[in-house]
Amino acid sequence: MKRFLTRFLRDNRGVAALEYALLVGLVTLAIAGALSSTNIRTSISSIFTSLNSELSTAAGAKND
């Protein structure tokens, strides 16, 4: 049992994957926190609404 624990504690395989998973989780939380701000959400929504309107207008002009 002691030998198993010693080998287990010295085994570094999978450490990089765990670090990347933690990093992705932290970045995801940061992005979610930033987007939860009402001002940012409103600005992004406004940009996409404007883009949608412009694209619809351009598509309508092309079809005429």
Q: How far apart are the C-alpha atoms of 31 and 25, rounded to whole Å?
A: 10
Q: Is 0.85 surpassed by the pTM of this model?
A: no
Residue of 32, 29, 9, 31 whose CA lies nearest to 21: 29
Looking at residue 26, what is its pLDDT? 93
- pLDDT tens digit string along 5-61? 888 778 877 778 888 889 999 999 888 887 777 777 788 889 999 999 998 888 776
Q: What would the two tokens of residue 4 be?
A: 């198993």
